[in-house]
Structure formats: structure tokens, C-alpha cells
């Protein structure tokens, strides 16, 4: 083989900036499909080397993402230039291993390079038409029986999709009332449909039906994973808003009044039963005792527990017995491992599924409350010393929905907000949900965004029409 630059013909793999052979020395022979002749060999890598490549990409991520777009552009531009400069060799190499005519191979190199720096084609017009996905399905939870439906249906219907909604079994009436008003508003028949009944039977039909082009789900991570697997059968688009394990970091320089007010909203709203509810309070050493005392005081004096129809009540019951048992299990586990109860810590005297708003101190990372979503009115306070420790603790979970922190130092605000691996970050506020911002998570909290201009994209296809002039 004769290239202008023979070093382009490599028979090794590239991991972490090094050219390597397989750990076990194995190789794979590559043959010219036009002649049957052996072209060369490449390493036969396996799981171990792939793991190293993933680790290398992970280690390189902080540095690469921190570069300015301009700095990245300089390198990409150079790569583009080098592809074009070496077009002849690259095309020859491609024809040798792939078989396509040299002219086509040259064309592909230009095309490949174009993705690095897209040029403009003078004789083409590019048209992108946004089209509704079609029939969409929504499966929603009980903790926000109305908003979780309108959050999906609002975007879907605005985009021109139609929708089948399966509300949570505990809260069908809010859903049905929304449908009454939708009908009254003039929504044509069939555009919005409400289906109550057994989750399995309804779910199976939604999941397998080829006409359903998208599923938007809010609920547990366990169910979300199951639904995602099932959606593979018909390759449905998906939005999944799943569980969280929200940290609420209080730095030494926080405004204590604001932090306590934010803590009350983000922890005890809806009795702690929202997916963005704080699950873990990470409090810096210097402010820990003051924060614990003030939060306890606020919980005792401000959170009246009772039937939500009674005036002045700030906290209702938990949704069911299973929810109550989970809260009890988290508290018992923390106490058994050395945590202390500052207030609450047991079932409320009202009985049923009422639980006392609770504050726990001396909570540690080994306790259940650190790892699982409690989904109840329990505030566990962890202690930390250095900023990095707080960020590390905050990120040490498979979830990534909402995070909160309080600080008055502008540098710290940016540094921590960027370091938190979460889809949403509240800085000096405990309330972040709003229809004008994109709501959604990363990691095992799911993907897809709801609300704002980003939310509507989830219900649209971009159809590309290329017109030659």
C-alpha cells in the first residue's frame, strides 16, 4: 500500500492518548473486499480495554468541557483541515477496506469533515419542519394529580399530538375533572383520553401499541426502567421523570433565615412526597448546630398536621400505609446507627397515616436515609467540612433530579452549581418548579424535559426537507 503519509495506516488502538495492542495480544485480520487480500490487522480488544477507554473518557471530561467553545473550535478546525489535507490517503484507505469507488470515498471524506466544520452548500436549501409525534401516552403519579397531567398534555396538545392518559389509581378524580373542563373548553373528541383501571393491562396496551409514538412517565425509577425496556419493542420516544435523592447544602456563609425557610418548603411540602423534595441536608460544620436548632424550632411552630381541608394545616397524611412504613424504617435505621431525633420521629397522634414532621441530626452516609428516597416528612442532617466534601456527598447517588444549596459567595455559587450532577439546581431557594423552566433529571432520575420551550420539543419531530436548486 502506498500512501503519501504512511503513518495514517495504524494497526493499533487509541485509548487515553496511547496507541495500544490487546491485553492478550489477539488481533483481527482485515481483508480488502475487492481482492480478498489481507490489508492488515487490528487489536482484538475486550471488556477490560473498553472499561479503560470509558474511564479515560470520564477522566478527560472535566478538562474538555471546561474549555471555552472557542478553544474547542480551534482544535476541531485543525482536525477538519487535516482531514481535507489528507483526503487522498483517507479515501484510498476507505476504498481498500470498504470497497466503494475512490470518487465516492473522496466524497465521504469531505462529508465526514463537514461535521467538524459544517460548510454551506450554495445549491441546496435546507428546510426543517416541526411535526407532532402522533398519539402520545402519559402515565402519571398521585403526588401531583393535576399538574403531572397538564405538564404533559399541555405540551403534547400544543404540539398537535393527541393523548391517552393513565392517571394514578389513588387520584383519578382530579384527572377526570381536568377532562370535564377540557371538553368544556372545546377540545375535540379523541384528542385527550383518560383511562383508569389496572396499571398492568392498560400499561401493556400502551407499551405494545405501534400507534403510540411516545410515552411520558412520571413515577418510580423501578417502574420507569420497566417501561423503558418495554418501549424498545416499538421504539417509542420516552420522557422519564423518576426518583430523586435531592441534597440541600447549607454552607457556612448561608443566610440562615432564608435557608430555614427554603428547607421547610423543599422538605415538608406535600408531606415530603414530591420527587424534588430534599432527601438529605448537608450542613457545614460552622453552621450545623444553628441550622439544626432553627429548623427544629420552625418545624415545631409552623407545621400544623391534620386534615388538609382544615384551615391552617400545613401537613397532611402520607398517601398510604406502605409510605408510612418506609418512613418509619428510615428513621429507625438512622436512630439505631446513632442519629438523634430533635423533633418528631414517630406516627402522629392523629393516627391513620399521619407522621410527625421530623428532624434528625448526626446522620451519616451509611444510613438508609442517605441512599433511598424517604418520600416523607423527615429531615436528616449530615455534617461536612469542606466544599468538595459536600459536592462529593451530594453526587454520591445514582439519582440526579434536583439539588439545592445556600451560599452568599458568588464564586462558590457558580462553582457548586456547575459541579452538582443534577438536572435542576436551586440556589438560595427551595422552590424551583415552574412552567417556564425545563424540569427534568440526569442519571437514573431519567431524561427529557417538561415545561418551557424545551418541553415542547419532546413532542415534535424535526422533519428535514432538502431542496436542490
Instruction: Identify the helix (H) or strand (E) that includes residue 103.
Output: helix 102-114
Single out the segment in contact with ligand ADP by CB under 6 A; choices: 199-207, 271-279, 423-431, 459-467.
199-207
- CB 223, CB 217: distance < 8 Å: yes
3-state secondary structure of 88: helix
Q: Toward ligand ADP, which CB reaches closer, 220 or 452?
A: 220
Q: What are the distances in angstroms from CA 83 to CA 6, 55, 86, 108, 147? A: 15, 28, 5, 11, 51
Q: Toward ligand ADP, which CB reaches closer, 322 or 467?
A: 322
Taking the complex as a whole, the smallest distance from the CB of residue 224 to ligand ADP amounts, in Å, to 7
- CB 341, CB 370: distance < 8 Å: no
Taking the complex as a whole, the smallest distance from the CB of residue 223 to ligand ADP amounts, in Å, to 3
Taking the complex as a whole, the smallest distance from the CB of residue 220 to ligand ADP amounts, in Å, to 3
**String of contacts with ligand ADP for each residue 96-115, x by CB under 6 A:** --------------------
Catalytic residue among 275, 277, 373, 450: 275
Please report whether residue 322 would count as binding ligand ADP according to CB under 6 A: no
Taking the complex as a whole, the smallest distance from the CB of residue 421 to ligand ADP amounts, in Å, to 23
Q: Toward ligand ADP, which CB reaches closer, 200 or 462?
A: 200
CA distance 398 to 414: 23
Query: Residue 264's beta-bridge partner residues?
Result: none
Single out the segment in contact with ligand ADP by CB under 6 A; choices: 183-191, 197-205, 265-273, 350-358.
197-205
Q: Toward ligand ADP, which CB reaches closer, 106 or 151?
A: 151
Q: Toward ligand ADP, which CB reaches closer, 203 or 345?
A: 203
- Binding ligand ADP (rule: CB under 6 A), the pick from 6, 70, 200, 301 is 200
Please report whether residue 219 would count as binding ligand ADP according to CB under 6 A: yes
Q: Toward ligand ADP, which CB reaches closer, 167 or 426?
A: 167
The residues in 151-190 that bind ligand ADP, with binding defined as CB under 6 A, are: 166, 168-169
93-108: b (≥16 Cβ within 10 Å) or e: bbbbbeebeeeebbeb
- Binding ligand ADP (rule: CB under 6 A), the pick from 126, 199, 313, 325 is 199
Sign of CA dihedral 172, 174, 177, 178: negative
Residue 161 falls in the annotated catalytic set: no
Catalytic residue among 49, 136, 231, 241: 241
Dig out the grid coordinates for 307 from the structure: 386534615
Q: Which residues contact 306 (CB under 8 A, 6 or more apart)?
A: 313, 315, 316, 350, 354
Number of Cβ atoms within 10 Å of the Cβ of 177: 13
- Binding ligand ADP (rule: CB under 6 A), the pick from 220, 270, 364, 395 is 220
Taking the complex as a whole, the smallest distance from the CB of residue 371 to ligand ADP amounts, in Å, to 17
The residues in 248-277 that bind ligand ADP, with binding defined as CB under 6 A, are: none
> DSSP label at 118?
P
- CB 404, CB 395: distance < 8 Å: no
The residues in 113-142 that bind ligand ADP, with binding defined as CB under 6 A, are: 139-142
Q: Toward ligand ADP, which CB reaches closer, 149 or 254?
A: 149
Beta-strand ranges (E) seen in 292-427 are 340-343, 358-363, 378-384, 402-406, 424-427
Single out the segment in contact with ligand ADP by CB under 6 A; choices: 198-206, 259-267, 357-365, 424-432.
198-206
Please report whether residue 462 would count as binding ligand ADP according to CB under 6 A: no
- What secondary structure does DSSP assign to 128-181, as a single string? EEEEE--EEEEE--SSSTTHHHHHHHHHHHHHT-EEEEE--TT-HHHHHHHHHH
Residue 458 falls in the annotated catalytic set: no
> DSSP label at 7?
G
3-state secondary structure of 310: coil
Taking the complex as a whole, the smallest distance from the CB of residue 148 to ligand ADP amounts, in Å, to 9
Cα radius of gyration (the chain): 28
- The backbone torsions φ and ψ at residue 97, rounded to the nearest 5 degrees and listed phi first, read -95, -20
Task: Return the active site residues.
Answer: 241, 275
Residues that bind ligand ADP (CB under 6 A): 139-142, 166, 168-169, 199-200, 203, 219-220, 223, 226
Amino acid at each position: 500500500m502506498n500512501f503519501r503519509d504512511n503513518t495514517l495506516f495504524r494497526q493499533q488502538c487509541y485509548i487515553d492518548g496511547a496507541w495500544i495492542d490487546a491485553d492478550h495480544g489477539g488481533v483481527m485480520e482485515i481483508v480488502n473486499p475487492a481482492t480478498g487480500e489481507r490489508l492488515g490487522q487490528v487489536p482484538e480488544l475486550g471488556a477490560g480495554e473498553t472499561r479503560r477507554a470509558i474511564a479515560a473518557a470520564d477522566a478527560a471530561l472535566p478538562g474538555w468541557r471546561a474549555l471555552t467553545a472557542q478553544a474547542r473550535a480551534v482544535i476541531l478546525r485543525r482536525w477538519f483541515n487535516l482531514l481535507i489535507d489528507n483526503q487522498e490517503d483517507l479515501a484510498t484507505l476507505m476504498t481498500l477496506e470498504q470497497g466503494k469507488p475512490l470518487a465516492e470515498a473522496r466524497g465521504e471524506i469531505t462529508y465526514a469533515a463537514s461535521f467538524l466544520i459544517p460548510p454551506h452548500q450554495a445549491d441546496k436549501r435546507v428546510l426543517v419542519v416541526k411535526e407532532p409525534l402522533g398519539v402520545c401516552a402519559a402515565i402519571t403519579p398521585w403526588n401531583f394529580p393535576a399538574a403531572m397531567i397538564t405538564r404533559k398534555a399541555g405540551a403534547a396538545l400544543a404540539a398537535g399530538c393527541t393523548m391517552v392518559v393513565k392517571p394514578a389509581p389513588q387520584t383519578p378524580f382530579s384527572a377526570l375533572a381536568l377532562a370535564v373542563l377540557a371538553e368544556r373548553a372545546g377540545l375535540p373528541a379523541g384528542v385527550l383520553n383518560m383511562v383508569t383501571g389496572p396499571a398492568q393491562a392498560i400499561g401493556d396496551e400502551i407499551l405494545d401499541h405501534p400507534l403510540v409514538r411516545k410515552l411520558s412517565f412520571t413515577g418510580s425509577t423501578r417502574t420507569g426502567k420497566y417501561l423503558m425496556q418495554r418501549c424498545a419493542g416499538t421504539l417509542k420516544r420516552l420522557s422519564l421523570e423518576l426518583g430523586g435523592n435531592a441534597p440541600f447544602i447549607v454552607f457556612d456563609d448561608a443566610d440562615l433565615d432564608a435557608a430555614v425557610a427554603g428547607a421547610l418548603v423543599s422538605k415538608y411540602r406535600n408531606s415530603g412526597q414530591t420527587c424534588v423534595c430534599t432527601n438529605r441536608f448537608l450542613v457545614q460544620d460552622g453552621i450545623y448546630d444553628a441550622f439544626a436548632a432553627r429548623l427544629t424550632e420552625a418545624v415545631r411552630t409552623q407545621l400544623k398536621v391534620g386534615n388538609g381541608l382544615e384551615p391552617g394545616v400545613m401537613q397532611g397524611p402520607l398517601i398510604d400505609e406502605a409510605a408510612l412504613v418506609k418512613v418509619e424504617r428510615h428513621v429507625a435505621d438512622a436512630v439505631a446507627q446513632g442519629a438523634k431525633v430533635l423533633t418528631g420521629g414517630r406516627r402522629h397522634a392523629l393516627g391513620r397515616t399521619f407522621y410527625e414532621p421530623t428532624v434528625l441530626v448526626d446522620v451519616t452516609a451509611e444510613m438508609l436515609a442517605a441512599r433511598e428516597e424517604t418520600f416523607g416528612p423527615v429531615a436528616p442532617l449530615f455534617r461536612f467540612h469542606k466544599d468538595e466534601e459536600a459536592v462529593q456527598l451530594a453526587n454520591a447517588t445514582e439519582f440526579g433530579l434536583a439539588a439545592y444549596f445556600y451560599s452568599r459567595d458568588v464564586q462558590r455559587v457558580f462553582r457548586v452549581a456547575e459541579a452538582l450532577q443534577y438536572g435542576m439546581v436551586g440556589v438560595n431557594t427551595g422552590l424551583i418548579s415552574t412552567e417556564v423552566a425545563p424540569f427534568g433529571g440526569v442519571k437514573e432520575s431519567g431524561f427529557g424535559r417538561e415545561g418551557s420551550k424545551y418541553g415542547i420539543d419532546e413532542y415534535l419531530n424535526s422533519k428535514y426537507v432538502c431542496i436542490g436548486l
